[in-house]
Amino acid sequence: MKSGLKPKHRRLVFVGIAMALLAAATGLILSALRENIVFFYSPSDILAKPPAPESRIRVGGLVETGSVEKPGGGVVRFRITDTAMTIPVSYRGILPDLFREGQGIVAQGRFVNGAFAADEVLAKHDETYMPNEVTDAIKKSGQWKPDVKGTK
């Protein structure tokens, strides 16, 4: 049974369908990636322009000295600073071994009603995982502690 299309036209229809399927697949992949992107902020960035409450973000900075509280029930409250601004953080769970006051951390979660509700806390041993803006602000304030080798 003949389709009534010349071979050249059949090829064009096939290429058109293939391009449409490729565009649809690309759109789905980009949509899925957009939903999983987590942006990185400093406390100053968050306070200057608070993200939407439904946005998952990461915040990096230093755990403010004297701010760690453990009210019970596995909840830990502390403040994180980039030495210019400070935001309160609450976290329920086990903190990493490197977590301590004055230590650089990255917390992931949501900023809601003026406080950061973390669902993950990562303690960092140097500036490798901090945004350059946070590292520069800490160095300018004189609170920067170089790594053990003294190379940074």
What band does 142 get if pLDDT is binned at 50, 70 and 90?
low
Overall pTM surpassing 0.75 (yes/no): no
Q: Note down the domain range covering 33.
A: 1-37
Residue percentage of the chain with pLDDT more than 70: 75
What band does 73 get if pLDDT is binned at 50, 70 and 90?
confident
Q: Are residues 28 and 49 in the same domain?
A: no
CATH, residue 133? 2.40.50.140
Q: Are residues 91 and 112 in the same domain?
A: yes
Helix then strand then coil, % of the chain, to nearest 5: 30, 30, 40
Q: Are residues 15 and 56 in the same domain?
A: no
